[in-house]
Amino acid sequence: MAQDSSLPDFWDTRYDSHVMPWDAGGVPARLAAHADALRPGSRILVPGCGTGYEACFLASRGFDVLAIDFSAPAVALAKSRAGPFAHCFVEADFFAFDAGAGFDVVYERAFLCALPRRMEDDYAVRMSRLIVPGGTLVGYWFFDDNLRGPPFGMTGERLEALLSPAFQRESDEPVEDSLPVFAGKERWQLWRRR
Ligand SMILES: C[S@@+](CC[C@H](N)C(=O)[O-])C[C@H]1O[C@@H](n2cnc3c(N)ncnc32)[C@H](O)[C@@H]1O
């Protein structure tokens, strides 16, 4: 299988062969609870959306959702099970797509940890440009000192260094319903754009 997770081919081969240990197959509990706190009509981006369970959930709650992934098989899988929300899914590169107006919310799960570590700074800068002042970057981050990935873990200090120039952290909680690949090593956090 392809080995460079910065390229679509890495992910295409895994989706095509249904090797997806990151795929929750449903909506994580903390996101489900958080949806109640979101302003109705919020514009939400789900980057690296994979098979799209969370994006469909958010769209079903009436939010204005754009879910992107640069893997064509991932987007095809997501659209095939999205029913009336298939239009929310677009094949696009997080670092290059035309976002139009900014997003009120970006939902993170297993996206930053999917990127090679050399791309972490670009992730933080791109997020700061995509999210409107007062908007939020919210979801799950993976913390580990593993050398090989994906998933590529990081320390809390490293995430703070990446995001704090443009964001203020408002929540940091343990996660109870992690998949085995993330168990004990992921946390729910909410970062507000300054
Ligand atoms: C580990 S998977 C997680 C998928 C999904 N977020 C989930 O929780 O099931 C990482 C996803 O990010 C996508 N991805 C990686 N780099 C990307 C990029 N630059 N632009 C868009 N999608 C990207 C991959 O194709 C893959 O679907």
Tell me the per-residue pLDDT of 20-69, one tens digit each, with 9 for 90 and over.
999 999 999 999 999 999 999 999 999 999 999 999 999 999 999 999 99
**Ligand 1, atom nearest to 23 Cα:** 9
pLDDT of residue 92: 98
Provide the percentage of residues in the chain whose pLDDT is more than 90: 97
Q: Which residues line ligand 1 (CB under 6 A)?
A: 11, 22-24, 47-50, 68-71, 74, 93-95, 109-111, 114-115
pLDDT of residue 135: 98
Tell me the per-residue pLDDT of 104-149, one tens digit each, with 9 for 90 and over.
999 999 999 999 999 999 999 999 999 999 999 999 999 999 989 9
Distance from Cα 149 to the centre of ligand 1, integer Å: 14
Distance from Cα 168 to the centre of ligand 1, integer Å: 25
Residues 6+ apart with CB under 8 A from 82: 52, 55, 56, 59, 88, 89
Specify burial of residue 17 (Cβ count, 10 A radius: 0-12, 13-18, 19+): exposed
Contact 145, 154 (CB under 8 A): no
Distance from Cα 113 to the centre of ligand 1, integer Å: 9
The pairing of strands 131-142 and 103-109 is parallel
The domain limits of the chain are 8-13+30-193
Query: Does the pLDDT of residue 165 top 90, yes or no?
Result: yes
Query: Does the pLDDT of residue 171 top 90, yes or no?
Result: yes
CA 166 distance to own-chain centroid? 18
Phi, psi (5° rounding) for residue 178? -70, 150
Mean pLDDT across the chain: 97
Query: Does the pLDDT of residue 2 top 80, yes or no?
Result: no
**Ligand 1, atom nearest to 11 Cα:** 25
What is the CATH number assigned to the segment(s) 8-13+30-193?
Answer: 3.40.50.150
Distance from Cα 11 to the centre of ligand 1, integer Å: 8
The pairing of strands 103-109 and 186-193 is unpaired
pLDDT of residue 147: 87
Please report which helix (H) or strand (E) contains residue 98, including its range. none
